[in-house]
């Protein structure tokens, strides 16, 4: 029997552990609130396309804000990349976006800061903030082009020190802002991210002063351990076996497709293997996902399944998933290698990875797994010269769709699901920020699948351009509909249309073109699948 050594912190009782977990989560949420209030761009202020996290000294997440799952699941890799090589000194901040060195796709800029406690030889923790910037250079405004390699997508930033000893590196700052179309907006959003780090660091240091560094370290350690125990308990509730799933992306945006994503989920006691062998090789187009995205999608699914099985939430950090092995073969669409184009991998392929893992698990847990949701973020970028200011503008948004139904409820309509947890941009914010007019914004009635429970309906947003502009659309589920579950019918596919004069023209799922003033772009998003046979 082990006995406590002198100076060891007392074991944390469940009540204290819950309090510390809630406190740390509140800190991450406060970081996000500071970022949102300080940001310049509608994408961050209104859509809330950002995420904040607190990680322990080993880069394990201990607290995540209620932000973007596709961001949050990949943040540990970003922190690891930021501290690889030389440790961060007090007051240093690392900036990165390189998908092959800790990032996800180039518009997602991540900043990481170490938290030092007085007298310590090593950082006690790390805070991180990731935000999707509406432009980071590249061949088209918005930095979400129909790219063929990573170099076309924008400024690629490996882990570099943006702040040293509390002072911004002005040479690096100028280099970044010189290579984007909207430098004032980018500067404002980056300052907002740095403010979020300051808030998180201050709160963690205040907590350490109140409870002591030993108890803080114990809280970090035990929260991660508790989450891993809950994950193991969840896996034990899934029947042992091998479960297969597959689904397809419509195309890769470069003339090839459909693109297959396959998975085999193996359950053996309290261990799970998620093996994507059989998925297509990485593509010429930009639907390639890096390994961090695939791992993030698996983490998200497991978190959802755990809460359904245990009827209780996981601690906000989610643990290290020590009982889960993810196999993503190198050089495939789920683990692409440079110089692959990856702009849509983060936003579209991540959604399909969720779908295929759910499809596999539905064979083991048929009454718990929902039907497929819309399965796309319907990415839209608009860029040009604002006729009022004469300055460049670059805008990015995603548009919600239908949620898949479950055994418990109909799916919601017109919402963002799974790997995106963002909001639809309000009409007022869109028209205020851009030379556009919203002609129509409504639900697409009866686009959800039927069943005992109905899938949610998609959205229709018609945008009239008030000036010439460059348009990029990266969307999915225009050919392969979101499947139903337990006999429910699929949701309707989405559509993209352009009205020029009096003529409507249907657009591909992935397209970029030069639009004219007066053109109307219509994004019509998929519905969610229905659950259960109504017969």
Per residue of the chain (535 residues), give pLDDT as tens. 334 445 555 678 889 999 999 999 999 999 999 999 999 999 999 999 999 999 999 999 999 888 888 888 889 899 999 999 678 999 999 999 999 998 999 999 999 999 999 888 899 999 999 999 999 999 999 999 999 999 999 999 999 999 999 999 999 999 999 999 999 999 999 999 999 999 999 999 999 999 999 999 999 999 999 999 999 999 999 999 999 999 999 999 999 989 999 999 999 999 999 999 999 999 999 999 999 999 999 999 999 999 999 988 888 777 778 899 999 999 999 999 999 999 999 999 999 999 999 999 999 999 999 999 999 999 999 999 999 999 999 999 999 999 999 999 999 999 999 999 898 999 999 999 999 999 999 999 999 999 999 999 999 999 999 999 999 999 999 999 999 999 999 999 999 999 999 999 999 999 999 999 999 999 999 999 999 997 7
Place of tokens 């607290």: 63
**Tokens (6 digits) for 126:** 């790390």
Q: What is the DSSP string of 228-295?
A: HHHHHHHHHTSPSEEEEEEEEES--SSS---EEEEEEEEEETTEEEEE-TTPPBPPSSS----HHHHH
Global pTM value: 0.95
**Tokens (6 digits) for 87:** 């440790």
CA-nearest of 287, 267, 373 to 334 is 287
Query: In the beta sheet, which residues pair with residue 470?
Result: 383, 514
Reduced DSSP (H G I as helix, E B as strand, rest coil) percent helix, strand, coil of the chain, to 5? 30, 25, 45
Cα 161 from chain centroid (whole Å): 24
Q: How many CB atoms lie within 10 A of CB 269?
A: 10
Q: Is 11 helix (H, G, I), strand (E, B) or coil?
A: coil
Distances from the Cα of 314 to the Cα of 221, 231, 233, angstroms: 15, 8, 11
Confidence at residue 230, expressed as pLDDT on a 0 to 100 scale: 93
| Ramachandran sector of residue 409 (left: φ over 0; alpha: ψ -120 to 50; beta: rest) | beta
Give the whole-angstrom CA distance, residue 376 versus residue 478. Answer: 9
Let me know if 387 is exposed, middle or buried by CB neighbors in 10 A (0-12, 13-18, 19+): exposed
Dihedrals φ, ψ of 256, to 5°?
-120, 150
Give the whole-angstrom CA distance, residue 48 versus residue 420. Answer: 10
Confidence at residue 355, expressed as pLDDT on a 0 to 100 scale: 98
CA-nearest of 241, 351, 339 to 293 is 351
Confidence at residue 8, expressed as pLDDT on a 0 to 100 scale: 52
Dihedrals φ, ψ of 521, to 5°?
-100, 130
DSSP element (H, E) containing 344: helix 343-344
**For 285, what's the count of Cα atoms within 13 Å in the CB-facing half-sphere?**
24
Let me know if 127 is exposed, middle or buried by CB neighbors in 10 A (0-12, 13-18, 19+): buried
**Tokens (6 digits) for 149:** 């390699």
**Tokens (6 digits) for 513:** 């073109």
- For 331, residues 6+ apart whose C-beta sits below 8 A from its C-beta are 281, 282, 337
Kindly state the DSSP code that residue 100 receives in the 8-state scheme.
Answer: T
Place of tokens 């060195």: 101
Let me know if 13 is exposed, middle or buried by CB neighbors in 10 A (0-12, 13-18, 19+): exposed
- Supply the angle between the helices 350-362 and 291-310 in degrees, to the nearest 10: 40
**Tokens (6 digits) for 515:** 């639009």
Confidence at residue 7, expressed as pLDDT on a 0 to 100 scale: 52
Give the whole-angstrom CA distance, residue 350 versus residue 161. Answer: 29
Give the whole-angstrom CA distance, residue 323 versus residue 115. Answer: 29
**Tokens (6 digits) for 429:** 């914010």
């Amino acid at each position: 029997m082990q006995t406590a050594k002198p100076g060891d912190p007392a074991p944390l009782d469940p009540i204290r552990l819950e309090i510390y977990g809630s406190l740390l989560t509140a800190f991450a949420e406060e970081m996000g609130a500071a970022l949102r209030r300080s940001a310049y761009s509608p994408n961050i202020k209104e859509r809330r396309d950002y995420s904040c996290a607190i990680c322990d000294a080993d880069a394990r997440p201990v607290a995540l804000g209620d932000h973007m799952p596709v961001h949050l699941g990949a943040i540990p890799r970003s922190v690891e990349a930021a501290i690889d090589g030389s440790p961060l000194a007090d007051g240093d901040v690392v900036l990165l976006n390189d998908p092959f060195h800790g990032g996800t796709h180039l518009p997602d800029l991540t900043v990481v800061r170490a938290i030092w406690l007085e007298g310590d030889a090593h950082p006690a923790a790390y805070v991180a903030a990731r935000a999707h910037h509406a432009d980071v250079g590249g061949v088209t405004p918005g930095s979400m082009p129909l790219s063929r390699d990573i170099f076309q997508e924008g400024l690629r930033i490996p882990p570099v020190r943006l702040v040293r000893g509390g002072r911004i590196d002005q040479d690096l700052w100028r280099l970044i802002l010189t290579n984007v179309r909207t430098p004032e907006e980018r500067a404002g959003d980056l300052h907002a991210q740095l403010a979020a780090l300051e808030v998180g660091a201050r709160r963690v240091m205040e907590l350490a002063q109140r409870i002591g560094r030993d108890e803080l370290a114990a809280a970090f350690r035990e929260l991660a351990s508790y989450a891993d125990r809950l994950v193991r308990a969840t896996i034990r509730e899934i029947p042992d076996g091998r479960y297969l799933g597959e689904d397809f992306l419509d195309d890769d945006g470069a003339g090839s497709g459909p693109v297959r994503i396959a998975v085999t989920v193996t359950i053996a006691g309290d261990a799970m293997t998620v093996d994507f062998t059989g998925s297509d090789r990485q593509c010429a187009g930009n639907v390639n996902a890096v390994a961090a995205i695939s791992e993030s999608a698996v983490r998200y699914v497991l978190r959802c399944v755990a809460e359904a099985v245990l009827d209780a939430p996981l601690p906000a950090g989610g643990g290290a998933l020590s009982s889960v092995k993810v196999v993503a073969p190198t050089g495939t669409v789920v683990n692409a290698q440079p110089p692959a184009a990856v702009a849509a991998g983060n936003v579209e392929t991540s959604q399909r990875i969720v779908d295929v893992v759910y499809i596999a698990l539905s064979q083991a847990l048929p009454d718990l797994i929902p039907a497929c949701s819309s399965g796309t973020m319907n990415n839209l970028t608009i860029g040009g010269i604002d006729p009022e200011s004469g300055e460049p503008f670059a805008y990015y948004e995603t548009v919600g769709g239908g949620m898949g139904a479950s055994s418990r409820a109909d799916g919601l309509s017109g919402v963002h699901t799974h790997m995106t947890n963002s909001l639809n941009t309000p009409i007022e914010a869109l028209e205020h920020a851009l030379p556009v007019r919203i002609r129509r914004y409504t639900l697409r009635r009866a686009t959800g699948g039927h069943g005992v429970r109905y899938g949610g309906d998609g959205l229709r947003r018609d945008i009239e351009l008030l000036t010439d502009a460059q348009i990029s659309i990266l969307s999915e589920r225009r050919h392969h509909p979101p499947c139903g579950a337990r006999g429910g019918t699929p949701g309707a596919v989405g559509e993209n249309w352009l009205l020029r004069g009096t003529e409507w023209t249907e657009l591909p799922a992935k397209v970029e073109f030069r639009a004219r003033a007066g053109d109307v772009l219509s994004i019509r998003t998929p519905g969610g699948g229905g659950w259960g046979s109504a017969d």
